[in-house]
Amino acid sequence: GTVRPDVGYVGGGALPGRQLATAVVAIPTTGLTAKARALRIGDPSVVPRVADDALILDVRTVEDSQLENLARRVAAVIEAQ
């Protein structure tokens, strides 16, 4: 995958639609819908976006201690299907 700048959104409540600069990992792959679903229902659950023919992972809220487990999970799904 590649790291690229992107924009995330803070969410609802007091800041609906507020943009937040971030960096994402874009993983081009085939079978995007099936792979995104497998990530969402797996353990640990990973919630990617699907855009530009890639799985998009915004890791700004991932703790350093979680990165290795996240990378293993994503690699397993990408390689399995």
Residues 6+ apart with CB under 8 A from 60: 8, 20, 22, 23
The CA–CA distances, whole Å, from 67 to 8, 11, 74 equal 19, 23, 11
| pLDDT higher than threshold 90 for residue 1 | no
Per the model's pLDDT, the better-predicted residue between 39 and 8 turns out to be: 39
pLDDT tens column, 31-71: 999 999 999 998 889 999 999 999 999 988 889 999 999 99
Q: pTM value?
A: 0.83
**CB contact at 8 A, 77 and 42:** yes
CB atoms within 10 A of CB 32: 16
